[in-house]
Amino acid sequence: MTDHPITPPPELVAQWFLGARAMPVDQWVTDVATQAARWGAVQRPESDPGEIRLTSGEEIIRITPTGFHYRDQVIEDAGECHRLLVDFLRRAMPETDWKHADG
């Protein structure tokens, strides 16, 4: 799932998600995307501002400075971004209890 060199491990994304679960959805998406970008910058400080990719054999989610992309389609609605990310995490990490992500 994390074959791109600056893709955070799913466990770390889950940790960010758990830390932000009390936030409204629009703040949560921004918070997790910001943490992912910071993590990527630390991993490859010499690189240009880049992107975060979550993959499962193929690219599923990409977060860039221009937005949230799901299967190469820009998703502008924060609620839809949340739903797609939670769906991806549930499939990628079925052993995690994601019930707190509902709502």
Per-residue pLDDT of the chain (103 residues; tens, 9 = 90+): 445 566 788 888 888 888 777 777 778 777 888 888 777 766 665 544 567 788 777 878 888 877 888 988 888 888 888 888 888 888 888 888 777 777 5
Cα–Cα distance measured from residue 92 to residue 55, given in angstroms and rounded to the nearest whole number: 9
pLDDT of 103 reads 58
Domain boundaries, the chain: 10-95
Q: Is the pTM of this model over 0.75?
A: no
pLDDT of 47 reads 46
Cα 72 from chain centroid?
14
pLDDT of 2 reads 43
Cα–Cα distance measured from residue 60 to residue 13, given in angstroms and rounded to the nearest whole number: 15
Q: Is the distance from CB of 17 to CB of 32 less than 8 angstroms?
A: yes
